[in-house]
Amino acid sequence: MDATTERYRDLFRGMYTWISDLCDAEKGGAIDEIHRYWADDARIVTFGRVKAAGIEALRKHFEVFPELYEKVEVREPFCTYLEAGDRVVIEHDILIGTRDGDHAVIAGEAGREEFRVTSIFSVLDGRITEMREVAAVKAGDD
């Protein structure tokens, strides 16, 4: 792919690293960097439900990550990365380690869960305006 078809890849690598760093006490992820990646009116839609709408709701959504998750690791390379104008589709695997061993993120092995996530992003002026995602627990599939 040429550079024009991947103009947002660095944005998403940075955003996923930022999310991971929120949970890493040693790296001390900064919630205030949310504005670097997300627009003021951005929203997250998961499984067809609006999880957060507007920057303050997104801030609240991400602020609980360090409390709930010991680790959030988005695996690279992405399984799929496609850009079409200001739309980006990313399919990736994510490993989540919960702080409370009895708490499961969706279902599966409590305390440690790996998911295959597919997200469709809209980007405007270099920031994410919408993320629509679905996820499934990985069960040894590739």
Beta-bridge partners for 136: 116
Domain ranges of the chain: 3-137
**Residues 32, 124: Cα–Cα separation, whole Å:** 20
**Residues 56, 80: Cα–Cα separation, whole Å:** 30
Architecture of domain 3-137: Roll (3.10)
Q: b/e map of 8-24 (b: 16 or more CB within 10 Å)? A: bbebbeebbebbbbbbe
The amino acid sitting at 13 is R
Q: Where are the beta strands (DSSP E) in 75-140?
A: 80-84, 87-98, 112-124, 127-137
The per-residue pLDDT string of the chain (142 residues; one tens digit each, 9 = 90 and over) reads 444 568 999 999 999 999 989 987 666 668 989 999 999 999 999 999 999 999 999 999 999 888 888 888 999 999 999 999 999 999 999 998 887 655 555 544 555 688 999 999 999 999 999 999 999 887 655 5
Task: Determine contact, residues 137/113, Cβ cutoff 8 Å.
Answer: yes
Give the pLDDT of residue 140.
57
Give the pLDDT of residue 2.
47
Q: How many CA atoms lie within 13 A of 96 on its CB side?
A: 30
Give the pLDDT of residue 98.
81
